[in-house]
A and B are shown apart, each in its own frame.
Chain A
Amino acid sequence: MKTVTRFRTALQAALALTAIASATVAAQHTRPGVPPERLPAPTRSIQTPRPAAAGEVGVLPVQGNVYMLNLGETNIVAQVGEDGILLVDTGPAEWSERIIATLRDRFPDRQVRLIVNTHMHPEATGGNAAIVKAFGGGGRGGGGGGGGAIRIISHENTLNRMSGTAEGETEQPQEMLPTSTFFTKEKEVYFNGEPIEVLYRGPGHTDGDVMVFFRGSDVIATGDLYVTTSYPVLDEKRGSSINGYLDALNYVLDLTVPRFNQQGGTMVIPGHGRLSNESDVDDYRNWMTIVRDRVQEMIKKGMTLQQVKAARPTLDFDGVFSTKAWTTDQFVEAVYKDLSTGAEPARTSSN
């Protein structure tokens, strides 16, 4: 009898402790009592907003099924659910092991099933082979499916460049190459219970840029068509265009719907930099439009590249966007060359 009583007491104590622990954990994660709209967005997005240590993969739950994975300055995206994991880009090759470890740690019972490459640069495609090897029991797969195969989606121009088919390009290893391409404005996918649109707007950063719109989660992954850490990188050898770049940004603004006072709502994950929403894209679009207009006007006045550089048309933005990897000089030169040879925009914006 005493044994039964002791057991009952112990059981009650254990249950009580469990209840207390659960309540504490719940409080930490949901912070009841503070209306969600009152929570600052970073806290709303990240229940425990803990900075990742240098060299670690930072995992940011965005909303719905979508997570942003920060690799230093580069971002990739994971959409996770019952069907498995869809990755938007695979990051630089040197991050592959850490990405694989992070995915296995955070989503232990999920396999990568789909990859979308937003463009052909190594920071977007460098991890293709390693991730296929780690998760793709059946290797890479095409549109026909097949046991365990991972499908890699991209625009056709991206495959042409990665496969060395396009002029001046070097062939990448076979296991890195996209297996499912398209040449139209859109490719539709349904995965993890939500419609996903892979969108092509023409040349911008390269001639094969796509954005990925998770319609259920209400998140757009832009690849390098939108970044917060530098000026638009115009890859001249690969068909870039400042006006194409601006067109893509305007299209993102058409898609996004802010939740409240021009923030929240549709979230935008840039190829590099911080998690964004419509107003962040709007700032970037506005300023790059202003720079485009200034350079355009200077070209109309017959100013040389050196004169344009000397006038410092980007001075107001250099403190944020000029970097060692893509300097103001490089950007201004690329815009000048592009606008000198390309078609003018329909209308410049200055008064």
Chain B
Amino acid sequence: MRKANAAGPRALQLRGTSAAWRITAALLLQAAWIVPVAAQQAGAPTPVAAPAAPAAGGQQANCDVSGEWSSRSREDTEDRVLLGTNLGDYTGFPLNDAARQFARHWDASILSLPTQQAIPHPAQYIMRGPGPNVRIAKFVDPTTRGFVGYTIDGVYGRNDRTIWMDGRPHPPDYAEFTWDGFSTGRCERGMLVVTTTHMKYGYHRRNGVPASVKSKMTEYFIRHGTEMTIMQFTEDPVYLEEVLARTLDFQINPGQNVGAPGFGFEIVDEIASWPDGFVPHWPFGTEHKEFAETLGVPYESTQGHKEAMYPEYLAKLRQMMRDAGSTPATR
């Protein structure tokens, strides 16, 4: 069974963390991701637009990404790997009001429902955490021996990904959607560029930050010898006000074997008292303020407003804190 990672009491573990340090680091990281993209758009720092999705093609030269890769998990290590995320922490996302309403009412207890227990991390999140260490393998047509695509194994919940490199079109909108979505790739300037559609409803962070079926994700697998960076750009007209840009780092690890991945999760009824059709959720109007209060920062600064992703926001944040007479918690 999947373990809930977002819980109110966990926020207490963050006491002593310097809010200013955390937010500054987050802003710098965001800036580092955004700048290369923004630079492509002369004079238009915001909003960031996703690079044009490449057409599927069959060119495979110079972008081989196959191998055993260990995740470095350097980005957002604290909430991906160490402590887990917190209810009410939507920092780093360009959320709209609909997404905030969704996230505020998401209750981790929903993961106890039999229909939710065996859900793997969705494509919008799967490459991010925790880990994962992955095996990226080529597969070929056994008749022609032609290169068909890549598979990615080792991700949480066996949400194995397939990246089709044979130029096939994406399925129609009325076809089935899956956790891994439908991915096609092509080589472009030494990068493997992957476009993914047909993803089920998912999340960007394990505290209810939603991703809709209208999401489209463009990933750039950029290999530098034994290192690889994946840049992800996710568009979602339902929940995001602008493109969500994130990076992930991996290192080649020839001795790694992601191991026997098993056959997924077992569904187990654990709570007998819930009636049929019961769906846990927080009451309408709930606001999770514990995270902001623990850090000593304004609640609004934690609610995923797009302006809070950019370095310019730091000055505004400091002013808001001065106006409120609040002192950030110290590490």
Contact = CB atoms under 8 A, between A and B. Distances in A.
Interface of A: 23-24, 26-27, 31-34, 38-43, 45-46, 49-52, 58, 60, 68, 70, 75, 228, 246-247, 250, 253, 258, 260-263, 267, 273-280, 282-283, 285-286, 289-290, 293-294, 297-298, 311-313, 315-320, 345-347, 349-351
Contacts of B183: 40
A33 B175 contact: no
16 contacts: A23-B143, A40-B180, A40-B198, A49-B171, A228-B213, A250-B277, A261-B118, A261-B264, A277-B176, A282-B113, A286-B110, A286-B281, A319-B98, A349-B278, A349-B279, A351-B280
Contacts of A283: 200-201
Contacts of B43: none
B192 to A, nearest CB: 18
B279 A273 contact: no
B264 A319 contact: no
B75 interface: no
A32 B141 CA distance: 7
A3 B102 CA distance: 79
A146 B99 CA distance: 57
Contacts of B102: 316-317
A265 B116 CA distance: 15
A343 to B, nearest CB: 14
Contacts of B142: 27, 32-33
Interface stretch (B58-66, B151-159, B245-253, B303-311): B151-159
Contacts of A40: 162, 178, 180-183, 198
B148 interface: yes
Contacts of A51: 169, 171-173
B157 A42 contact: no
Contacts of A311: 284
Nearest to A345: B277
A52 B172 contact: yes
B115 A280 contact: no
Contacts of A39: 162
B212 interface: yes
B78 interface: no
B141 A58 contact: no
The 10 closest A-B pairs by CB, nearest first: A49-B171, A319-B238, A51-B172, A316-B102, A33-B142, A42-B171, A282-B115, A42-B175, A289-B279, A27-B143
A318 B214 CA distance: 13
Contacts of A38: 151, 160, 162
A276 B265 CA distance: 20
B144 interface: yes
A27 B158 CA distance: 26
B206 to A, nearest CB: 16
B24 interface: no
B277 A350 contact: no
A247 B277 contact: yes
B159 A41 contact: no
Nearest to A349: B279
A342 to B, nearest CB: 16
Contacts of B175: 42, 45-46, 49, 60, 274-275
Contacts of A275: 174-176
A49 B282 contact: no
A346 B174 contact: no
B120 interface: yes
A326 B117 CA distance: 33
B270 interface: no
Given A49-B168, A274-B175, A319-B239, 11 more contacts: A34-B162, A38-B162, A60-B175, A228-B213, A261-B179, A262-B115, A263-B176, A279-B115, A297-B283, A319-B212, A349-B279
A290 to B, nearest CB: 5
B275 interface: yes
Nearest to A276: B176
Contacts of B265: 261
Given A40-B180, A253-B115, A290-B281, A261 B159 contact: yes
Nearest to B276: A250
A41 B180 CA distance: 9
Contact of B169 (A49, A250, A286, A316): A49
A191 to B, nearest CB: 25
A293 B171 contact: no
Contacts of B212: 319-320
A41 B178 contact: yes
A262 B118 contact: yes
Given A275-B175, A277-B176, A318 B264 contact: no
Contacts of B157: 261
Interface string B94-111: 000111011001010110
B182 A42 contact: yes
Contacts of A50: 169, 172
B143 A350 contact: no
With a 10 A CB-CB cut-off, give which of A260, A263, A275, A313 has the most chain B CB atoms. Answer: A263
Contacts of B263: 260
A273 B119 contact: no
B277 A289 contact: yes
